[in-house]
A and B are shown apart, each in its own frame.
Chain A
């Protein structure tokens, strides 16, 4: 059994930042990621980030991954396990893992779960045709593997992912026939939406998919309009002849390891589904298990990084490591999170998180 001080599960923006801050306090970190290359979803983000300087605003996601990776790869306190999937967290605190087909156990003193989120999908007729993709999957195909998914696409979902991937599809030479969103308003940032509208792509709000067409592969998509009670209106159908359809209807936390560990979970719609109850320092209801990033509530990579730094500090501190200005550091990170969650979009997030926070020691029950 492999011993570890802090095991960090997931090497995306949250996990990388957690590794950096825990290691800075002198803590030995084991960082596991299921992919061969760390960086999570950052590696396919070719656009520049918002936020402030501390979250690498105006730097492209892929370059942020490079900056963060350089800080863990040459760090004597960090051991990286790539191509490693954490399979389970058991009640006695033992963790099982699979590294390239080799099964083994780890006994960590603390765990930071930073597993991220997965794409939600929709049920509509012929949704299993080849050519129907998640928007994130198409982004991986194009930006990581250099594969053009098709020639003409309908994007379902006008949130930030839907808008950004639509733009990147156009950059790759794919025609975007339409962007469709069931809600009456565009969910993503206006700056992204305006850029796409200027390029002549229609955005149909208050519409949804009626059905896909095709026998062997996708040949077309029919959409229809929704009334103010979200019921489809007959006679409003529009058909688009496309060979690709992207579904971008939100993300949901990849929280199965937290369920297994017995962490108290709560359904918060604003955060993407079931999320862990935690204290301000991101410790869950199971002592010694911390969370950071999308698994603790779906937000942006910027807040995932800040949460990562915070969870790294908290986990190291839980094991007795500290630094002279730890409170100052924590306050700064809390302030950064508040700033990222300001504004109308952030209000939803803040409301969701306020339902999740417990602050009393009594609420923290079991030990790992």
Chain B
């Protein structure tokens, strides 16, 4: 049933997917993110980070306090490249 329990709705990853990756040796959030795209969808990890860290804690025996969430980078939500281009082309007033 673990394959029916969804951890990451954005990239459609189940508890089973995450556990399989941990068993393969991906034991940090960033490693799992790079191989599976967890946390890289529209929710930017706001739904899945807690669930992935919990699985990591159970599997590795390390407390949550010692596990780091992934690196946070701007922007916090999806924006259109067009909007950035328009800002960049706006001249000095829009530096």
Contact = CB atoms under 8 A, between A and B. Distances in A.
B1 A211 contact: yes
A103 B79 contact: yes
A128 B13 CA distance: 11
A88 B75 contact: yes
A84 to B, nearest CB: 12
- Indicate the size class of the contact surface on chain A: 35 or more
Contacts of A252: 50
B94 A1 contact: yes
Contacts of A121: 47, 50-51
A189 interface: no
B69 A274 contact: yes
A254 B87 contact: no
Interface in A107-123: 118, 120-123
Interface string A121-141: 111111110000000000000
A98 B95 contact: no
Contact of B5 (A85, A102, A123): A123
Interface residues on B, range: 20 to 34
A85 B87 contact: no
A88 B77 CA distance: 9
A318 interface: no
Interface string B1-44: 11011110100000100000000000000000000000000001
A125 B6 CA distance: 7
Contacts of A273: 50
Interface in A199-216: 211
A147 interface: no
B50 A87 contact: no
Given A98-B83, A103-B87, A260-B72, A118 B1 contact: no
Contacts of A274: 69
B18 to A, nearest CB: 9
Contacts of A269: 64-65
B83 to A, nearest CB: 4
B84 to A, nearest CB: 5
A332 interface: no
Nearest to B73: A260
Cβ-closest 7 pairs across A and B = A88-B74, A87-B75, A103-B83, A267-B65, A259-B72, A125-B4, A123-B5
22 contacts: A85-B77, A87-B77, A88-B74, A88-B76, A90-B74, A98-B75, A98-B77, A98-B79, A102-B86, A103-B79, A103-B87, A105-B94, A121-B47, A121-B50, A123-B15, A124-B5, A125-B1, A125-B2, A254-B46, A257-B76, A266-B65, A267-B66
Given A1-B94, A87-B79, A96-B74, 4 more contacts: A103-B84, A103-B86, A121-B47, A211-B4
Interface of A: 1, 85-90, 96, 98, 101-105, 118, 120-128, 211, 252, 254, 256-257, 259-260, 266-267, 269, 273-274
